[in-house]
């Protein structure tokens, strides 16, 4: 199994149940996108896992909200931002197996395990929940409209 498939399996095993326990419903995904949404009063909070298009082992969570009930078309919804390793617009900011250079020097290891990346995602997801509640962007929330 390649690295991207291993990372995908770790996300399915650890993050999917985590998100579903918080009321999110998994939608019909495609090869590069897996949508999740939940109803929160009169609005729908949603995010989607977007995998890198050339098959590298990295992904990001695009998120937003929709005024109105579920279901709605994810492709037509307005995305507000991203949850990622750190703020910024480059692919280096996405969740991935490859460690940042300084951390590689500090730990003497070039890569995270797929399970470690899944734990990072679960840990950083609290910042996304906080954004939906207070509109406060944490260190790992990158807002491009808002």
* Nearest by Cα to 112 from 96, 124, 101, 125: 96
* Nearest by Cα to 139 from 125, 127, 130: 127
DSSP3 helix / strand / coil % (the chain, rounded to 5): 35, 30, 35
Task: Please write the tens of the pLDDT for every residue from 33-69.
Answer: 999 999 988 888 999 999 999 999 999 999 998 877 6
pTM across the whole model: 0.90
Q: How many CB atoms lie within 10 A of CB 59?
A: 23
- Ordered by start, the domain boundaries in the chain are 3-143
């Amino acid at each position: 199994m390649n690295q991207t498939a291993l990372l995908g399996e770790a996300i399915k095993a650890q993050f999917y149940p985590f998100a579903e326990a918080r009321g999110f419903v998994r939608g019909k995904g495609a090869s590069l996108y897996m949508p999740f949404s939940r109803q929160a009063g009169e609005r729908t909070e949603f995010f989607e896992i977007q995998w890198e298009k050339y098959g590298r082992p990295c992904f990001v969570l695009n998120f937003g909200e929709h005024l109105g009930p579920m279901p709605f078309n994810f492709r037509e919804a307005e995305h507000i931002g991203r949850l990622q390793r750190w703020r910024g617009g480059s692919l280096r900011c996405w969740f991935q197996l490859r460690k940042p250079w300084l951390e590689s020097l500090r730990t003497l290891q070039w890569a995270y395990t797929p399970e470690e990346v899944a734990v990072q995602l679960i840990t950083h997801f609290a910042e996304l929940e906080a954004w939906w509640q207070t509109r406060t962007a944490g260190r790992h929330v990158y807002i491009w409209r808002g």
